[in-house]
């Protein structure tokens, strides 16, 4: 047979096989929709606080999917940035201080005797975690509060406090062990070394106090 | 003899059990105080049933379960409840927990109690309730409510009941002692448990280092109707772990994420069995347990029967602790126990051992070296994990990798840390990683919840908006229909005869404004052109002239129209808004001016002049507002004025005052000129006072129709109390810091106290009144 | 009463990473003694020189990394690396070769990766491979054992002074005292059959020195196994697979291939099996992984010895398997209690 014909036939066969493979793969491994936004959204803390300058977490997730920086979420902090960097395979940037700093998790608390029932905080709450009606006292459903502090600003009588969540016996966990050798001060940077020293002093003081008490 | 299987890994640490077995079981003396934590078990903390000051009898229930997974708590002796407050509790965190404190009266007076003669005649549920009411939770380790483990649903078929008498941890001999001394109790308890879950066979696992206990149990088991087999297993730590013991005795592994009950096995501790026996046959709830007191710092180590809630300091004194040598106080064994940082911590239902260790006994761990991957940890892991890999992942916070390496299967037995050549605190790394993972999962759940709520809210807002729009549309439609109808009626009169003068005025105003803006723009362009040196200046000039003329024209037209149609007197609200707007403008301009001045921008002059104008405008608006207010017959309005509104006003005034005071203080502290601020504060305080007075007056004027409102009074009293507390705190703070304000605070406190007294008095009166009313 | 507040466990087996290293060093001493017995002072001088250099380099790097020097030198890992490299070098190698090797082992192959526990490759073997490739002449100039030196011509192993002069000075090892290693002889036998080679070579009939040294290493290795410093898996698998593969080829064609015992007792087989392949830092961790790791080294050694460019292959075989250790670890994870199957790989659940 003509070698040219053989070459053509072989190429044809190969292209057919690969075409079939690709077709099979496209059906078998079909990707539904645009899950990247969902994935990003699921990593965000869902405080809906708007500190990223987007009106909620999902809009920010969409913006990230379109190339927005990943370091604009103060409530999520470094861990969220790390998770996003991991997901999107980009460099983990330090938190953009322009949008606020990472803070201790807290919940809103309404000083109820000062509340005048203006409903402004209810309208501000992105997750409907404030209960109340016009001219009735309002209160925060603590378990639903995301700590976004959007309700603090609108309150005309300043009766909303952000109370940091304290660790309880249930939420307490072990801390990470001190890095390796305790004697390496330089390993942890100067500031940390000083801090450790202070901590130790404090421990000693505590002990002394305890001793006095006993 | 049953076959014994084996599990991977395990270690053989020095047993150190001999020390505490020198003396027979003794009874610890009655302590001066019993501290009973409300959480001694897995699940929700119990809810107190008593109040401070209550007399309680021995065995009386003092706290009841909160929900299903929770446990009753009983008074270990008779006495008085002296406090219900937070005290240090046995917990690795060293934090405080809510406790009931009982001062024993020394009478040991039992509450009426009675055992069941024939427990086999009882219904299963009744028997389970009996155990629940005795407050029994697992006494070996975690403290899971026993009754839940024994009262399984009918679809659970249990074929093996395993009784854990392994006690594999070094030092601990509490179960050993119990098995030697009270083997009959244990067998009795097993009979009850077997009656509840109907297993096909019962196995008691005991390590071969406790031959006496095994003998005693075998002897006692002979008298039982049940076929109870005592299985002696080789000594190896951690044979006593639930899963390890199941593997040892049955060769079966509990699948990941499942419970032993799912594969037909129930494991119970020997002490728990003895407690069940006491509860069912004697009606005695769980109020005491056997605890091992050991460690080199004790002169007389041994096993004692202690009342739950006995502070450890009393036990240490009883066992002759040398406080000089005591370096580490451990509750539980040396492998899994946790340190206590306060000897006042009480013994709880799960406390099987207290080790008062010296520094030589448990030397402080040498500084951790680098992991050399020697693999010893893997050889000893009883669960078959790769501890060193997990250590790297925990250290690097790669929690998903740790998860995929089955970190959650780790039982934290400490075998890996025990053998680690580099002294790495492996278990702490795992605990840290587990905690972080749990927290992340918790956060994830919360975030999911928040997301759902947020989306629901968005939908609701959208819907409301839609509804509003629909309504508006509907209204507009009806209106237009009506209009067409009217049009049809009077077709001749289709031209609007008279233009609404107000609307025209508005139009004219807009026109004038547009003209002015155009003029400004043209001016700007001219200036630009001049500086740029462009030729067509003349053209621009002409354009400007044109614009000027137009602006003037429109202004004139506007003025004319205004004269013709004098605007209706503005309402109070409008005036208010105008005044507020003017003020805001002034503020903004002031800010801009300050900014400009600091930057040295030439436009500052312009800004200044416009600021003057704005100020004048604002003053005028304020004046107009005040006049209008004065004109709108205040007496009539005042009566109409809602008390609530007054309240709001007063509270707003207060807040403003507070804010102003704060700024004043800040200014004073910063050493700035604060005279004007002071003035402001004075003004505000006056305003606040007036508002307050108005409010008070209005309230007084309000006829007290139905007598004093009990609720209001209550809250008033509560507020007064809170205020007192706060002030007291502030006072203490001030005194500590030696501030001058302390005296003032003290005076304020006195006042507050009298107020609070008044409030309480009023409340009491009202209560009485209400009571009499209800009686009537 | 100051009470500590720390995580369990509170009891620890008295241990220290330095203990483990020290035991390995002690176990290698019989091998060193045997080397010195057969080859003179050279190996001892090499070991001492290498140890001093290793400590100096290690101290310098730790100083640069601003870490406590005493704490890190106390783990004996530098000395162990130096010892293993020196044992593998020819007895009278010039000092600068040793220096380059130790520098590369300690500074580049170990500390630059982050120090003890972080290095993916065995530092001693990295250095050995570097020297072998860069200085083939120095690295192949072995002296003869005293049993094979023709004493009638007046030739003898260098005295201590001569040894110092050869290692540190310009002096050369006299030609009469140099000799190829048995593996080299066998490698370059050409078309000659095994039987002919054996009848020709005096060296191959006097293998006793090398076998004696191997026995010394074997003894040290058994001591370490008894002391539970490591498990039997790696050396066992390595020796077994080497025995099997050499036995297979020898059985199929005895005239072309060396007998299994030849492979097991010559070259660095025993040193590699008990002292180098077992280095926990660079080996696989799980028992199954160790078996695969050891067996693969055995096979690679045989393949390279027979068909590679170099007469011995321990260094290359171990380095190649070092590469695969993390991979082996991921795929040979033990089955966790309560799980039906061992998990493989690192994939998310």
List, for residues B368-378, the tens digit of each pLDDT value: 888 888 888 99
Chain B CB contacts of C9 under 8 Å are: 334-336, 414, 417-418, 427
C189-211 pLDDT, tens digit per residue, is 777 888 888 887 777 888 888 99
B219-264 pLDDT, tens digit per residue, is 999 988 888 999 999 999 999 999 999 999 999 999 988 888 888 8
Q: In percent, how much of chain B has pLDDT > 70? A: 85
Q: What is the pLDDT of residue B569?
A: 57
Query: Quick one: pLDDT band at residue A206, thresholds 50, 70, 90?
Result: low
Query: Quick one: pLDDT band at residue C348, thresholds 50, 70, 90?
Result: very low
B174-233 pLDDT, tens digit per residue, is 999 999 999 999 999 999 999 988 888 899 999 999 999 999 999 999 988 888 999 999
Q: What is the pLDDT of residue B755?
A: 76
> Which residue in the set C3, C280, C339 is minimally distant from B340, CB to CB?
C3
Chain B CB contacts of C335 under 8 Å are: 384
Please say whether the beta carbons of C247 and C260 come within 8 A.
yes
Query: Quick one: pLDDT band at residue A191, thresholds 50, 70, 90?
Result: very low
Residue whose entry in the numeric block shows the structure tokens 């064994």: B333
Query: Is the pLDDT reported for residue C343 higher than 50?
Result: yes
* Record: contact B343-C333, CB cut-off 8 A: no
Query: Is the pLDDT reported for residue B598 higher than 90?
Result: no
Chain B: residue nearest A147 by CA?
B450
Q: What is the pLDDT of residue A184?
A: 45
Assigned token pair, A126: 């992105």
Query: Is the pLDDT reported for residue A201 higher than 60?
Result: no
Q: What is the pLDDT of residue A214?
A: 36
- The residues, any chain, with a CB within 8 Å of residue A129's CB and separated by 6 or more, are A108, A140, A141, A144, A145, A146, B453
- The residues, any chain, with a CB within 8 Å of residue B278's CB and separated by 6 or more, are B134, B185, B284, B286
Query: Is the pLDDT reported for residue C57 higher than 90?
Result: yes
Q: How far apart are CA B115 and CA B279, in angstroms?
A: 7
Closest listed residue to residue C177, CA positions, set C150, C197, C140: C150
Q: Cα separations (Å) of B722 from A169, B718, B728, B743, B749?
A: 26, 6, 10, 20, 12
Q: How far apart are CA B137 and CA B135, in angstroms?
A: 7
Query: Quick one: pLDDT band at residue B114, thresholds 50, 70, 90?
Result: confident
Q: How far apart are CA A179 and CA B636, in angstroms?
A: 75
Q: In percent, how much of chain A has pLDDT > 90? A: 13
Strand-pairing partners, residue A167, are: none
Q: What is the pLDDT of residue B617?
A: 78
* Record: contact A157-B652, CB cut-off 8 A: yes
C307 part of contact set with chain A, CB < 8 Å? no
**ipTM reported for the complex, 2 dp:** 0.86
Query: Quick one: pLDDT band at residue A43, thresholds 50, 70, 90?
Result: confident
- The residues, any chain, with a CB within 8 Å of residue A125's CB and separated by 6 or more, are A150, A151
Closest listed residue to residue C173, CA positions, set C150, C153, C156: C156
* Record: contact C17-B365, CB cut-off 8 A: no
Question: Is C152 or C107 the better-scoring residue by pLDDT?
Answer: C107
Q: What is the pLDDT of residue A193?
A: 43
> Which residue in the set B8, B256, B328 is minimally distant from C3, CB to CB?
B328
B458-497 pLDDT, tens digit per residue, is 899 999 999 999 999 999 999 998 888 887 776 554 444 4
* Record: contact C66-A186, CB cut-off 8 A: yes
Q: Which of B93-102, B520-529, C83-92, C117-126 has the lowest mean pLDDT?
A: B520-529
Q: In percent, how much of chain B has pLDDT > 90? A: 38
Q: What is the pLDDT of residue B745?
A: 72
The chain-wide mean pLDDT, for chain B, equals 83
Sort B25 into a burial class: Cβ within 10 Å, 0-12 / 13-18 / 19+: middle
**Roughly how many angstroms between the first and final C-alpha of chain C, as a whole number?**
48
* Record: contact C8-B427, CB cut-off 8 A: yes
Query: Is the pLDDT reported for residue C87 higher than 50?
Result: yes
Query: Is the pLDDT reported for residue B758 higher than 90?
Result: no
Q: In percent, how much of chain C has pLDDT > 70? A: 96
> Which residue in the set B332, B386, B431 is minimally distant from C286, CB to CB?
B386
DSSP assignment letter at A205:
H
Q: What is the pLDDT of residue B673?
A: 61
Segment 56-85 of chain C within 8 Å of chain A by CB: 66-68, 71
Q: What is the pLDDT of residue A158?
A: 86
Q: Which of B240-249, B610-619, C128-137 has the lowest mean pLDDT?
A: B610-619
Report the predicted TM-score, pTM, of the whole model to 2 decimal places.
0.73
Assigned token pair, C176: 């009469």
Chain C CB contacts of B7 under 8 Å are: 337
Q: Which of A54-58, B258-262, B493-497, C298-302 has the lowest mean pLDDT?
A: B493-497
* Neighbouring C-beta atoms of residue B722, cutoff 10 Å: 13
Mean pLDDT of A103-121: 87
A172 part of contact set with chain C, CB < 8 Å? no
Q: How far is B356 from chain C (nearest CA, A)?
A: 10
Q: How far is C176 from chain B (nearest CA, A)?
A: 45
Mean pLDDT of A129-151: 88
Instruction: List own/partner pairs for B153-158 with CB under 8 A and 24 or more apart.
Output: B156/B261, B156/B262, B156/B264, B157/B264, B158/B197, B158/B198, B158/B199, B158/B261, B158/B264, B158/B265, B158/B266
> Which residue in the set A181, A186, A210 is minimally distant from C71, CB to CB?
A181
Query: Quick one: pLDDT band at residue C248, thresholds 50, 70, 90?
Result: very high
Subunits with 3+ Cβ pairs within 8 Å of B are A, C
């Amino acid at each position: 047979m003509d070698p040219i014909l053989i070459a053509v036939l072989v190429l044809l066969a190969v292209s057919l096989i690969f075409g079939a493979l690709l077709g099979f793969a496209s059906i078998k491994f079909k990707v539904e929709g645009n899950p990247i936004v969902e994935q990003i959204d699921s990593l965000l803390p869902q405080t809906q606080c708007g500190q990223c300058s987007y009106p909620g977490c999902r809009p920010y997730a969409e913006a990230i999917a379109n190339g927005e920086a990943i370091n604009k979420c103060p409530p999520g902090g470094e861990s969220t940035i790390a998770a996003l960097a991991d997901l999107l395979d980009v460099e983990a940037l330090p938190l953009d201080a322009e949008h606020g700093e990472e803070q201790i998790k807290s919940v809103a608390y309404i000083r109820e005797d000062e509340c005048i029932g203006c409903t402004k905080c209810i309208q501000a709450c992105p997750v409907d975690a404030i209960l109340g009606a016009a001219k009735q006292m309002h209160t925060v459903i603590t378990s639903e509060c995301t700590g976004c502090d959007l309700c603090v600003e609108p309150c005309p009588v300043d009766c909303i406090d952000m109370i940091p969540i304290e660790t309880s016996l249930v939420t307490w966990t072990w801390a990470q062990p001190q890095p390796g050798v305790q004697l390496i001060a330089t390993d942890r940077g100067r500031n940390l070394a000083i801090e450790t020293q202070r901590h130790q002093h404090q421990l000693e003081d505590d002990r002394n106090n305890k001793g006095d008490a006993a | 003899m049953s076959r014994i299987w084996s599990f991977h890994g395990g270690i053989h640490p020095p047993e150190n059990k001999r020390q505490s077995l020198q003396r027979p079981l003794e009874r610890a003396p009655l302590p001066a105080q019993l501290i009973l934590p409300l959480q001694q078990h897995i699940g929700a903390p119990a809810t107190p049933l008593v109040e401070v000051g209550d007399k309680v009898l021995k065995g009386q229930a003092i706290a009841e379960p909160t929900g299903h997974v929770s446990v009753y708590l009983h008074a270990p002796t008779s006495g008085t409840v002296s406090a219900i407050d937070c005290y240090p509790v046995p917990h690795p965190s060293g934090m405080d927990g809510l406790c009931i404190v009982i001062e024993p009266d020394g009478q040991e007076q039992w509450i009426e109690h009675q055992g069941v003669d024939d427990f086999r005649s009882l219904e299963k549920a009744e028997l389970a309730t009996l155990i629940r009411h005795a407050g029994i939770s697992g006494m070996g380790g975690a403290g899971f409510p026993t009754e839940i483990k024994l009262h399984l649903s009918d679809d659970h078929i249990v074929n093996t009941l395993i009784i854990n008498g392994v006690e594999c941890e070094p030092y601990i001999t509490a179960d050993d002692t119990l098995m030697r001394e009270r083997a009959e109790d244990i067998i009795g308890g097993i009979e009850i448990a077997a009656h509840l879950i109907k297993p096909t066979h019962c196995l008691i696992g005991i390590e071969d280092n406790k031959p006496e206990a095994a003998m005693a149990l075998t002897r006692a088991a002979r008298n039982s109707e049940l076929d109870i087999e005592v299985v002696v297993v080789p000594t190896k730590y951690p044979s006593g772990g639930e899963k390890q013991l199941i593997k040892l005795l049955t060769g079966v592994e509990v699948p990941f994420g499942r419970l032993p009950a799912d594969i037909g096995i129930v494991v119970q501790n020997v002490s728990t069995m003895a407690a069940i026996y006491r509860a069912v046959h004697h009606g005695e709830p769980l109020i005491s347990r056997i605890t091992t007191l050991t460690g080199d710092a004790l002169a007389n180590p041994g096993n004692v029967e202690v009342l739950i809630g006995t502070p450890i300091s009393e036990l240490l004194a009883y066992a002759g602790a040398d406080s000089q040598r005591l370096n580490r106080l451990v509750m539980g064994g040396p492998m899994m126990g946790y340190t206590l940082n306060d000897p006042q911590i009480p013994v709880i239902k799960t406390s099987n051992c207290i080790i008062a260790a010296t520094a030589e006994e448990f030397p402080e761990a040498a500084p951790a070296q680098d992991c050399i991957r020697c693999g010893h940890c893997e050889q000893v892991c009883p669960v078959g994990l790769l501890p060193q890999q997990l250590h790297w992942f925990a250290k690097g916070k790669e929690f998903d990798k740790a998860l995929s390496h089955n970190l959650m299967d780790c039982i934290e037995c400490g075998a890996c840390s025990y053998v680690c050549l580099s002294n790495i605190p492996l278990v702490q790394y795992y605990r840290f990683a587990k905690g972080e993972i749990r927290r992340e999962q918790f956060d994830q759940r919360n975030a999911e919840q928040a997301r759902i709520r947020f989306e629901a809210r968005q939908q609701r807002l959208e819907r409301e908006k839609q509804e509003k729009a629909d309504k508006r549309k509907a209204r507009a439609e009806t209106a237009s229909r009506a209009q067409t109808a009217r049009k049809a009626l009077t077709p001749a009169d289709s031209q609007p005869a008279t233009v609404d003068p107000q609307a025209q005025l508005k139009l004219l105003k807009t026109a004038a404004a547009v003209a002015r803006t155009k003029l400004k723009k043209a001016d700007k362009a001219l200036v630009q052109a001049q500086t740029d040196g462009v030729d067509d200046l003349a053209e621009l000039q002409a354009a400007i002239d044109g614009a000027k003329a137009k602006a003037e024209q429109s202004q004139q037209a506007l003025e004319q129209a205004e004269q013709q149609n004098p605007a209706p007197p503005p309402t109070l609200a409008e005036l208010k808004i105008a005044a507020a707007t003017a003020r805001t403008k002034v503020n903004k301009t002031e800010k801009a001016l300050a900014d400009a001045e600091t930057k040295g921008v030439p436009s500052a002059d312009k800004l200044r002049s416009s600021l003057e104008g704005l100020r004048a405008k604002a003053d005028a608006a304020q004046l107009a507002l005040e006049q209008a207010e004065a004109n709108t017959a205040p007496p009539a309005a005042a009566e109409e004025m809602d008390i609530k509104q007054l309240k709001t006003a007063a509270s707003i005034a207060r807040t403003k005052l507070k804010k102003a005071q704060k700024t004043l203080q800040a200014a004073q502290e910063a050493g700035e000129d604060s005279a004007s601020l002071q003035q402001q504060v004075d003004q505000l305080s006056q305003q606040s006072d007036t508002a307050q007075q108005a409010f008070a007056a209005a309230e007084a004027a309000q006829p007290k129709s139905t007598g004093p409102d009990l609720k209001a009074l209550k809250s008033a009293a509560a507020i007064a109390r809170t205020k007192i507390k706060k002030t007291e705190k502030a006072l203490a703070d001030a005194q500590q810091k030696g501030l001058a304000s302390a005296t003032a605070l003290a005076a304020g406190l006195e006042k507050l106290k009298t107020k609070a007294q008044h409030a309480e008095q009023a409340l009491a009166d009202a209560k009485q009144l209400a009571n009499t009313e209800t009686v009537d | 009463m100051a009470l500590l507040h720390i995580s369990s466990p509170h009891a620890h087996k008295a241990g220290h990473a330095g203990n483990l290293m020290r035991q390995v060093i002690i176990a290698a001493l019989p091998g060193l003694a045997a080397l010195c017995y057969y080859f003179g002072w050279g190996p001892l001088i090499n070991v001492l020189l290498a140890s001093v250099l290793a400590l100096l380099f290690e101290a310098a790097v730790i100083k640069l990394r601003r870490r406590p020097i005493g704490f890190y030198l106390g783990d004996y890992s530098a000395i162990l690396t130096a010892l293993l490299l020196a044992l593998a070098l020819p007895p009278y190698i010039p000092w600068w070769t040793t220096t380059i090797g130790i520098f590369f082992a300690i500074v580049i192959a170990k500390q630059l990766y982050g120090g003890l526990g972080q290095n993916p490759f065995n530092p001693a073997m990295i250095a050995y491979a570097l020297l072998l490739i860069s200085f083939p002449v120095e690295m192949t100039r072995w002296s003869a054992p005293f049993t094979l030196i023709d004493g009638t011509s007046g030739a003898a192993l260098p005295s201590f002074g001569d040894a110092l002069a050869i290692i540190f000075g310009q002096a050369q090892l006299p030609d009469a005292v140099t000799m190829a290693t048995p593996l080299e002889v066998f490698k370059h036998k050409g078309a000659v059959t095994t039987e002919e080679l054996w009848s020709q070579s005096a060296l191959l009939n006097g293998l006793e020195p090398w076998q004696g040294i191997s026995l010394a290493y074997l003894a040290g290795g058994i001591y370490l196994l008894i002391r539970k410093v490591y498990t039997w898996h790696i050396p066992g698998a390595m020796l077994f697979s080497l025995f099997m593969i050499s036995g297979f080829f020898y059985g199929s064609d005895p005239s072309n291939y060396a007998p299994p015992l030849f492979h097991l007792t010559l070259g660095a087989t025993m040193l590699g099996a008990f002292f180098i392949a077992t280095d926990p830092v660079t080996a696989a961790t799980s028992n199954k992984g160790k078996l695969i790791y050891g067996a693969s080294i055995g096979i690679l050694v045989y393949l390279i010895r027979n068909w590679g460019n170099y007469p011995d292959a321990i260094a290359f075989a171990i380095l190649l398997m070092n590469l695969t250790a993390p991979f082996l670890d991921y795929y040979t994870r033990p089955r966790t209690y309560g799980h039906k199957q061992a998990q493989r790989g690192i994939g998310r659940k």
